[in-house]
Amino acid sequence: MGIDFKPYQGLQDLIEKRHMINRQAVRLHYAEPWQFRIMLYDGSAMFETKLETFHNLFDFLAREVSFGPTELSTEPVEAGGTVFTYPKQSQPVVITCTVRDTGDRKLHKWFNKLVGKVVNPDGTFNLPNDYCYKMKILSYEDDSEDGQDLWEGLVYPTKMGDIQMSLDGENFTEFPIVFQQFNSLGVMK
């Protein structure tokens, strides 16, 4: 019987495998958090600039974005002592953008003007047609001009966060703006 026994190398095999995994991880290109663009369109010239049609003012002023592109609601179903969960519906996405404002407070004025459209004089609320914006969030590779769509949908602004100012401040005035997706039919990428 010609049984070929491979001698146990123990720790040496483990070390070689870990070195191989580390070499692969070092060569892997990771996404950088600054490689993004936010496109916000309302059909008017509010955010357009004369530089390029691709970039707009909101894209230049957005410093940070946070969003969960997909959220599914589930429904539990009991079968004896076991519980199964099934996807039921998709939820609208909430997008939070930290933005810098211009010297003439363009974004601050824009947000307050929009809020004035939603609140009626009698205290009721509505969602006017021109309150919704098309938003697209793109990601970029290092040497590419073509962006990869991460998320796209119809949104409206719901909250302007705290504006912090200081006499000792050295940075630009920044505040968060929260957008709510109008419906959950947005393109999930």
Domain with 108, as residue range(s), is 32-178
The tokens of 10 are what?
Answer: 């123990």
Instruction: Give me the average pLDDT of each 10-residue run along the chain (189 residues).
Output: 60 70 69 78 57 64 87 90 92 92 89 84 82 85 68 89 82 90 69
Query: Would you say residue 59 lies in a domain?
Result: yes
pLDDT of residue 48: 55
For residue 44, the model assigns a pLDDT of 56
> Is 15 domain-assigned?
no
Question: Is 156 part of a structural domain of the chain?
Answer: yes
pLDDT at 52: 45
Number of domains in the chain: 1
Decide if 149 is inside a domain: yes
What is the distance between the alpha carbons of residues 162 and 117, in angstroms, rounded to a whole number?
21
Query: 11 in a domain, yes or no?
Result: no
Q: Which pLDDT score, from 0 to 100, does residue 50 have?
A: 47
Whether residue 9 is contained in a domain is answered as: no
Asked, for residue 174, whether it belongs to a domain, the answer is: yes
8 A C-beta contact, residue 41 and residue 61: no
24 Rama sector, left if φ>0, alpha if ψ -120 to 50, beta otherwise: alpha
99 in any annotated domain:
yes
CATH of the domain at 112: 2.30.110
- pLDDT for 177: 94
